[in-house]
Amino acid sequence: MYENSGMGKRSNSFRGDFRSDTVTQPTEGMLQAMASTPVGDDVYGDDPAVNELQERFAALVGKEMSVFFPSGTQSNLAAILTHCGRGSDLLVGNKYHTYVFEAGGASVLGGISFTPLPTEEDGSISNENIASHVKPDDPHFPETRLLCLENTVSGNALTVDVLRENAATARKFGLGVHLDGARLFNAAIELNVNPIEIANIADTVSVCLSKGLGAPVGTLLAGPARLERSIRRNRKLLGGGMRQSGYLAAAGLYALDNHIDRLAEDHNRAKSLANSLDELAEESEIRISQNTNMVFFEPHPEDHQPLLDHLHEDGFLVTGKKPAFRFVTHLGINDQEVEMFTHSIKAFFKGK
């Protein structure tokens, strides 16, 4: 289910990359910002661009501080290690990134166990499941210390009310709350809310710069000042201390200035793609759904591999995981590429 297969590589006939919003390339303006920024040594705390990025991002999500990390996986793990000790337990949705796609790092490196909770169709988890899976105060069980939430989940933007209720349930049992907000700004744009409203439900929140925001590298982990020392220690422990990382921070600053509001364009292109493919759903009983910048397209099983091969041959890169394709729009996809991509998919089914 989780194999990284059918991903495809760029060829001379490349016409569009719909694999993920992680494939974005820095824009010309971003490259200029990176090349012209003054830098220092961030481990010593004297890189001006990193310091500015951390301060601005913390204010943007309503937290007291934030720390710049190389990756979202590392920032999530540092947050978990900050909230939990060895032998602790955390609750997490069974389809959430921290549980499924981060190599079990909390268990491997932190001695922390996962308790996965059923994920609803919209990506949420129920308050009842949170309450019923907190371990009793008994020496036979690990101590439940943390609830890990996520937004967006497979493109679904969970409402502030849903997340707030989840967090309130966790806090009744004395749990900390971490939010994997890799695409938090997509959720804020979709819900038309201030990012602070989403971030405020959690003690700590991580947000990725290298997905929809288009920076080449980096994630920020924000939270209360009382956790900063532990977060920085865990970043160092995990090998995340960087030196002249201001070049990367400059890309992040440019992204915050220029690429948040434009996420609405990605959502609109995904919606346009889904709407254009709706006729296939009616004719061939293909399942299609769209959330924020993602379109899920589930053909009949016998058509999956042939369609994947057709799209690659036609110059489009897509992920090949079954049963549903995930098509992602992003900074590197324009209206013409969406139109060509739609035409290629329709041509495949017309030629069957």
φ and ψ at residue 242, rounded to 5 degrees: -115, 160
Predicted confidence at residue 11, as pLDDT, reads 53
pLDDT at 333: 97
Q: How far apart are CA 96 and CA 124, in angstroms?
A: 10
pLDDT at site 344 = 97
DSSP assignment of 176-245: EEEEE-TTHHHHHHHHT--HHHHHTTSSEEEEESSSTT--SS-EEEEE-GGGHHHHHHHHHHTT---SST
- Mean pLDDT per 10-residue segment, the chain (352 residues): 45 84 97 98 97 98 98 98 98 98 98 98 97 96 98 98 98 98 98 98 98 98 98 98 97 98 98 94 86 96 96 94 95 97 95 78
Could you tell me which of 228, 221, 139, 152 has the C-alpha nearest to residue 189? 152
What is the structure's pLDDT at 295? 98
Task: Name every residue whose Cβ is closer than 8 Å to that of residue 137 and which is 6 or more positions away in sequence.
Answer: 143
Q: What's the predicted TM-score (pTM) here? A: 0.95
Per-residue model confidence (pLDDT) at position 10: 57
8 A C-beta contact, residue 321 and residue 5: yes
The 10s digit of each residue's pLDDT in 319-335 is 988 999 999 999 999 99
**Burial class, 352, CB count within 10 angstroms (exposed 0-12 / middle 13-18 / buried 19+):** exposed
Condensed to tens digits (0 to 9), the pLDDT of residues 215-237 reads: 999 999 999 999 999 999 999 99
User: What pLDDT score was predicted for residue 7?
Assistant: 53
